[in-house]
Amino acid sequence: MKTFAESNFPGRLIAVEGLDGSGKSTQIYLLKRWLEAEGIKVYFSEWNSSELVKSATSKGKKRELLTPTTFSLIHATDFADRYERHLVPLLRAGYIVLCDRYVFTAFARDVTRGCPAEWVRGNYSFACAPDLTMFFKADLEVSLNRILEGRPKLKFFEAGMDLGLSKDPYESFKIFQGRILDQYLAMSKEFNFVTMDANVNVEKQQVIVRKLVSEKIDLKKFKRKSPLPLPPSLVTDRDEKEELEDKAA
Amino acid sequence: MSAKKSHKFYGHGIPRIKPEDLGGKLIVVEGADGSGRSTQIAELVNWLETSGRPTAQVGLKRSTLVSEELEKAQDGNVLSRTTLSLFYATDFADQLENIILPALKAGFIVLADRYIYTLMARDMVRGMDEKWLKNLYGIAPVPDAVFYLSVEPEELVQRNLSKNATLDYWESGMDLGLSRDVFDSFLKYQSAMQNAFKTMQKTYGFDIVDANRSANAVNKELRKKISSVIDAE
């Protein structure tokens, strides 16, 4: 699996991975804010899939039509859609793209569901590897507590209920997440994850994240050549000022 | 069908499905639109059921899961190549797990109106990686017989026009930009597809059936060949 840099893309992709509740979304959001403030061409992939794929996926989930194989394939379709329509153009245009989860989420989840690892990886082999993957490793208990604190209603597939691990969704979710964590740990070396200790405080983590990113990526190459356009209010103010100056002259 | 003959998968197969549990027969009919596939399959089902054999049928874009969305995607030509390819694979997998595998377990004769070969040929013509496709479709069981109904592209034009008075956008490969002219594009695309099938024939050993002939003559040949597959137990 070659990275975007190795595949001669002008852009770079940074991914965060980890269990829900590991704090990875907060970290990538703070990273985005920093890069924006630095005037870097950055895009945070929100994973907006096209309506068609979304419609099939939600139908499959709602009606519980999915098996491990079709679950894997429909998510691969969804990923391919976003990859080809969104990520590739941005990376060709020299953006730094931030992804909250990437192919490794699918690898961990689908293999836990019983799909052969080589099959899943092969299906995703059209995608380049991130230039930096940060894996947020929190204690399983900590992640579970964060998610389950408010006793949210867990969805069927989210809780891994299709695996028949337990009749209780909370129990099932716990076992399922534990297995996914095992998969992440097993992949960590192979895919060069940089493991982040998600148990330390948020601010300290962000310092480490920013340091890692600036070491790994030559950020000044990604600065916008032209500054971002000014907000409309400022533009009119300036025009009026110039007009006045012109008149004065 | 008392004696059970186990099936094989092309690759990894499907989680928790043991190939030795799969009896029945899987018969695939491949060919372009206008090669007479549907007519032949309807005749075969009629013949098999009259002789007391249970059948099940599958085809492309028939899954509960994604057929509706696939249809719309094709109408708008909105999805890119890998996405469309994986969408079709999802459609295939859904039918595989809900129809083909349960029917084979129950000893049925499954007739597939096109199979992974059409999907692979289409993608190969569009420049997709063959290794990637082989891995993807490693979920498919190896059929007991595959018949490729071969019809010359010129004859296909005539048959499609007399049936629909128009040539289908996708069956003409218009997305490939081979020609702005649908007629030219159809001929070029269909010969490219035939070449892809000929290449695959070496790997998958299709039975190439000359379908330039009358429907009756073709059906007679198919019945004879299918009988020997069924009796080979």
Contact list, A52 vs chain B (CB under 8 Å): 69, 72-73, 78-79
Q: Which of A202, A192, A189, A194 is nearest to A31 (CA)?
A: A202
Q: Give the neighbor-by-neighbor strand order of the sheet with A132-137.
A: A42-45, A96-100, A12-18, A132-137, A193-197
Cross-strand pairs, A17: A135
The CB-side HSE value for B213 (13 A sphere, CA atoms) comes to 11
Q: Looking at the 3D structure of chain B, how many domains does it have?
A: 1
Asked if the structure places residue B220 within a domain, the reply is no
Q: What is the extent of the structural domain holding B163?
A: 21-215
Instruction: Read off the amino acid at residue A247.
Output: K
H helix or E strand, kind and range, residue A205:
helix A202-216
Q: Give the pLDDT score at A196.
A: 96
Residues B17-40 as b/e (b if ≥16 CB within 10 A, e otherwise) read beeeebbbbbbbbbbbbbbbbeeb
Q: Which ranges constitute the DSSP H helices of A40-93?
A: 51-62, 68-82, 88-92
Are the C-beta atoms of A95 and A223 separated by less than 8 Å?
A: no
Contact check, Cβ <8 Å, B139/A119: yes
A58 touches chain B (CB under 8 A): no
Q: What is the C-alpha separation between B24 and B12, in angstroms, rounded?
A: 20
Cross-strand pairs, A99: A15, A45
Q: Give the pLDDT score at B191.
A: 96
The CATH number of whichever domain residue B155 belongs to comes to: 3.40.50.300
B228 touches chain A (CB under 8 A): no
Asked if the structure places residue B9 within a domain, the reply is no
Domains of chain A: 12-248 (3.40.50.300)
Residue ranges for chain B with pLDDT beneath 70 = 1-5, 233
Instruction: Read off the amino acid at residue A203.
Output: E
Which tokens hold the place of B102? 């349960």
Q: Give the pLDDT score at A32.
A: 97
| Burial of A149 (C-beta count, 10 Å sphere; 0-12/13-18/19+) | exposed
Asked if the structure places residue B28 within a domain, the reply is yes
Asked if the structure places residue B36 within a domain, the reply is yes
A212: closest CA of chain B, how far (Å)? 33
Residues B141-165 as b/e (b if ≥16 CB within 10 A, e otherwise) read bebbbbbbbbbebeebbebbeeeee
Mutant choice from A49, A51, A58, A67 vs B, greatest count of B C-beta within 10 A: A67
Asked if the structure places residue B187 within a domain, the reply is yes
Are the C-beta atoms of A122 and A50 separated by less than 8 Å?
A: no
Q: What is the C-alpha separation between A159 and A239, in angstroms, rounded?
A: 57
A52 touches chain B (CB under 8 A): yes
Residue ranges for chain A with pLDDT beneath 70 = 47-48, 226-249
Q: Give the pLDDT score at A171.
A: 93
Q: What is the C-alpha separation between B84 and B223, in angstroms, rounded?
A: 35
Contact list, B16 vs chain A (CB under 8 Å): 114
Q: Give the pLDDT score at A237.
A: 53
Report the C-alpha dihedral over residues B50, B53, B59, B63, rounded to 10 degrees: 110
Q: What is the C-alpha separation between A163 and A240, in angstroms, rounded?
A: 66
Dmax over CA atoms of chain B, in Å, equals 55
Residue tagged 């916008």 (tokens): A224
Are the C-beta atoms of B97 and A69 separated by less than 8 Å?
A: yes
**pTM confidence score:** 0.90
Residue tagged 């480490």 (tokens): A208
Cross-strand pairs, A80: none
Cβ contacts of residue B192 below 8 Å, gap of 6+? B125, B173
Q: What is the C-alpha separation between B78 and A80, in angstroms, rounded?
A: 13
Helix (H, G, I), strand (E, B) or coil at A52: helix
Q: What is the C-alpha separation between A18 and A136, in angstroms, rounded?
A: 5
Which tokens hold the place of B25? 């027969």
Quickly list DSSP for chain B: --S-----BSSS--TT--GGG--SEEEEEEE-TTSSHHHHHHHHHHHHHHTT--EEEEETT--TTTHHHHHHHHHHT-S-HHHHHHHHHHHHHHHIIIIIHHHHHTTPEEEEES-HHHHHHHHHHTT--HHHHHHHGGGSBPPSEEEEEE--HHHHHHHHHHHHSS--TTTTTGGGTS-SSHHHHHHHHHHHHHHHHHHHHHHH--EEEETTS-HHHHHHHHHHHHHHHHHT-
Nearest by CB to B78, from A52, A113, A118: name it: A52
A178: closest CA of chain B, how far (Å)? 21
Contact check, Cβ <8 Å, B135/A56: no
Asked if the structure places residue B2 within a domain, the reply is no
Are the C-beta atoms of B116 and A96 separated by less than 8 Å?
A: no
What are the angstrom distances between the C-alpha of A223 and each of A79, A178, A206, A212?
Answer: 28, 41, 21, 18
Residues A42-56 as b/e (b if ≥16 CB within 10 A, e otherwise) read bbbbeeebbebbeeb
Q: Which of B179, B182, B177, B176 is nearest to B161 (CA)?
A: B182
Residue A19 sits at the vertex; the CA angle it makes with A173 and A99, to the nearest 5 degrees, is: 135
Nearest by CB to A69, from B64, B85, B139: name it: B139
Contact check, Cβ <8 Å, A56/B90: yes
